[in-house]
A = this chain, B = another copy of it.
C-alpha cells in the first residue's frame, strides 16, 4: 500500500509532474486549492457578480463546474453561478453529454441552460461536414461554440465566462502557434481575456494550470460520470495527434507542459503583447455582435451552410 503524501491514508492518485501520490480527500483539497490559487493569481473573479460556466459534459468542464460550485459557496458567496450547455446534435454523443450536464447540475443544484443547436439555430454540427468547412470540422465547431457561448453569457447578463480549457489544451495551442509563428494567436493564449466591450464577456480559464489527468481524477473523485467515448467527429484530428506528440515530449522532458506554459505567460507573452495592437472591433451587420469585419465569423459560417443547403435543394 502506498500512502498519501499528506496524510497516512491509502493513496489513490498520482500527480505525475509533482511525483506525488495523494488519497482521495487530499487530492480534492489539492485540486480546489490549485484552482483557487489560479483564480486569485490572475484576479479572475475580481468584481464578478454572475459567472457563466460553459459545460460540454466532458471531464474538464464538469470538474470545473463542480469545483467552482464549491469555491463560490465557500469563498465568493456573492457570486451567482450558471451553467450553459450547447447540444451540438452529434448523434450517439450529444444526447449523452446533455444527460451528464443535466444530472450533475440537478445533483448540485446549479441553474443551467441547455441550448439546442438544431431547434434554435436550425442546423447540427455534422451538417458542416458537407461544406468546405467540413475538412476542419473541429475548427468550425470551435467557432460555433465560442460565438454562442459568448452571446448566451451576454444575454443572461454574465460578467465572466469560464471555460474548461486545461494545461494540455493550452500547451497544444502554444506548440502550434510558436511553430507557425502566429503572434496574433499567441497573444490570445492567456488565463484571462479581459473585455470592456459589453457584448464581449470577459473569459477566464480557471483550469489552465491543471492537467487533463488532474481534471479526470477530480471528476472521478467527485463521482461525476465520465463520457465513455470522445467526440466521434474529432477522431484522428490534428489536435489529437499533437496532444499525443506532446505526451511523448513530456516523457522525455518531465515538466515540459508546465514549463512551456509558464515561460509563455510570464516571459514571452508580456513582450509580444506590447507589439500587437488591440484588434479594433466593429459590429457584425447581421447579428450585431462584436466582429473584426463587416460580418462576424459565425455569421459567415452560417451563411456558407445556408448557401450549401440551397444548392442541395435545387
Contact = CB atoms under 8 A, between A and B. Distances in A.
A262 B179 CA distance: 9
Contacts of A181: 262-264, 266-268
Copies in the complex: 2
A259 B183 contact: no
B263 A252 contact: no
Contact of A183 (B179, B241, B249, B267): B267
Given A181-B263, A263-B178, A241 B245 contact: no
Range of interface residues on A (Cβ < 8 Å): 20 to 34
B241 A179 contact: no
A179 B260 contact: yes
Interface string A247-275: 01100110010011011101110011011
Given A178-B178, A179-B263, A272-B272, 9 more contacts: A179-B256, A181-B262, A181-B266, A181-B268, A183-B268, A183-B271, A245-B252, A248-B248, A271-B272
A-B interface, 4 closest residue pairs, ranked by CB to CB distance from nearest: A181-B263, A181-B267, A271-B275, A245-B252
Interface of A: 178-183, 241, 245, 248-249, 252-253, 256, 259-260, 262-264, 266-268, 271-272, 274-276
